[in-house]
Amino acid sequence: MAVPLFNITPDLTVSRLCLGTMTFGEQNSLPQSFLLLDKAFNSGINFFDSAEMYPVPQRAETQGRSEEYLGRWMRERKIPRDCVVLASKVSGPSGKMTWIRGGPMCLDAGNITEAIDNSLFRMQTDYIDLYQIHWPDRYAPMFGETKYDPILQFHSIDIAEQLDALGRAVDAGKIRYVGLSNETPYGVMKFLHTAKCGPGFPKIVSLQNSYNLLCRNFDCGLAECCHHERVSLLAYSPLAMGILSGKYFSPDGGPADARLNLFEGRYSEGESRYNLSNTIVKNATKAYIDIAQKYGLHPVSLAIAFVLKHPLVASAVFGATKLWQLQQVLDACKMELNPEIIADIDKVETNLLTEIKRLLYKV
């Protein structure tokens, strides 16, 4: 069964599964990456996501390899350029990744233009189909944070300047469409409003945010924005960094080469999102795994099918380091969750929210 397609715009059609490449160059060697790309492409996946900072955990020695591997695969396999949709991202302000444009310090026009040119060079392609701002050039709760603290706000580059730089890249044929990532309702609407005000400013067509059974923040505000403004959700981390597969609940704590085990203590952004020492996260995950077992489903199929069921999700952006993991995700395209399964999922969500409120408000 071929992977279904989704029209983000009339001339931007993506597969409903998107292979993320952030393991390429770290967990996956070049030959391993090629095998994963081959299988994905031959199975009907035409959508591939990368970023200038990949792979993760980010290191100066490996930065850019994911884009390089993706570009080499296209050239060596002689993949027609119009048969794939390439997505990449420009890194926002970061005091840690000093090897990327000195920080990067900000997302001004110069930084955006340089990042686009560097990505084009690494992938050896003339254009990028979807270019995304990886995270905002301003303070905003992200990467697992949910509480906004106004004290943390810092000087940020005007959104008009960012859109102007992206618009110039569109006019130059370097990118086709523009998207956001790790954004808030305020950010999405601000970009959309600003795009209407400036000559030649590109409209935001997609939002790549985390969405899965354990993380449904998108439905609290962002969903309404995206629905009315026709912005498609690219749901990343549909398996909650592999937790929803159930592999970390084995007696040995999961495979040694599983991401959270392999990079324990080195992947703070990931570990902060889904802390398995958190009783709420652990109990909710186990409940979802029980639902999968109840209906004779693989937990991966349940998790992926849940994300794809959302009416605003254009594609689920997933990662895989092994061919059998990729096959599990492909199999999920065959799944349709019936009302009984959805009702059981909703019960877990209700119980989860009740427990969170109890802890927060001591009720």
Residues 6+ apart with CB under 8 A from 338: none
Q: Which amino acid does the sequence have at 192?
A: L
Q: Are the C-beta atoms of 45 and 15 separated by less than 8 Å?
A: yes
> What's the CA angle centered on 226, arms 23 and 152, to 5 degrees?
70
Is the CA virtual torsion 1, 242, 258, 145 positive or negative? positive
Number of helices and strands in the chain (H, E) = 12, 10
Q: Which amino acid does the sequence have at 295?
A: Y
Measured from the Cβ of residue 210, the count of other Cβ atoms closer than 10 Å reads 23
Pairing of strands 12-15, 5-9: antiparallel
Q: Are the C-beta atoms of 258 and 264 separated by less than 8 Å?
A: no
Establish whether 54 is a catalytic residue: yes
Q: Are the C-beta atoms of 73 and 28 separated by less than 8 Å?
A: no
> What's the CA angle centered on 232, arms 229 and 234, to 5 degrees?
150
Q: Are the C-beta atoms of 144 and 106 separated by less than 8 Å?
A: no
**Helix axis angle, 323-332 relative to 30-42, nearest 10°?**
20
List the one residue out of 157, 77, 172, 160 whose CA is nearest residue 117.
Answer: 172
The catalytic position among 54, 236, 248, 274 is: 54
- Provide DSSP, 99-156: TTTTBT----HHHHHHHHHHHHHHHT-S-EEEEEESS-SS----TT-----GGG----
What residues act catalytically? Answer: 54
